[in-house]
Amino acid sequence: MTSSGRTRPTVGVLALQGDVREHVRALTELGADAVPVRRPGELEAVDALVLPGGESTTIDKLARAFDLAEPLRRRIADGMPAYGSCAGMILLADRLVDAIDGQQTFGGLDVLVRRNAFGRQVESFEEDLDVAGVDGGPVRAVFIRAPWVEEAGPDVEVLASVRTGPAAGRVVAVRQGGLLATSFHPEVTGDLRVHALFVDMVRERLG
Q: Single out the catalytic residue among 22, 127, 185, 195.
A: 185
Q: What is the pLDDT of residues 144-167, one digit of tens each?
A: 889 999 999 999 999 999 998 888
Beta strands 125-129; 139-143: pairing state = antiparallel
Catalytic residue at 70?
no
2: confidence class by pLDDT, cuts 50, 70, 90: very low
CATH placement of domain 10-206: 3.40.50.880
Nearest 10 degrees: Cα torsion 108, 110, 111, 115: 20
Q: Single out the catalytic residue among 23, 86, 127, 195.
A: 86
C-alpha closest to that of 32 among 9, 2, 7, 5: 9
Catalytic residue at 185?
yes
* Helix, strand, coil distribution of the chain in percent, nearest 5: 30, 30, 40
- 21 vs 28: CA distance, rounded Å: 10
In this structure, are residues 16 and 59 in contact, taking their beta carbons and an 8 Å threshold? yes
Catalytic residue at 157?
no
Q: What is the pLDDT of residues 109-134, one digit of tens each?
A: 999 999 988 776 566 789 999 999 99
The per-residue pLDDT for 167 is 87
The per-residue pLDDT for 5 is 44
Contacts of 1 (CB under 8 A, 6+ apart): 44, 45
Which secondary-structure segment (H or E) carries 108? none
The per-residue pLDDT for 99 is 87
- 93 vs 90: CA distance, rounded Å: 5
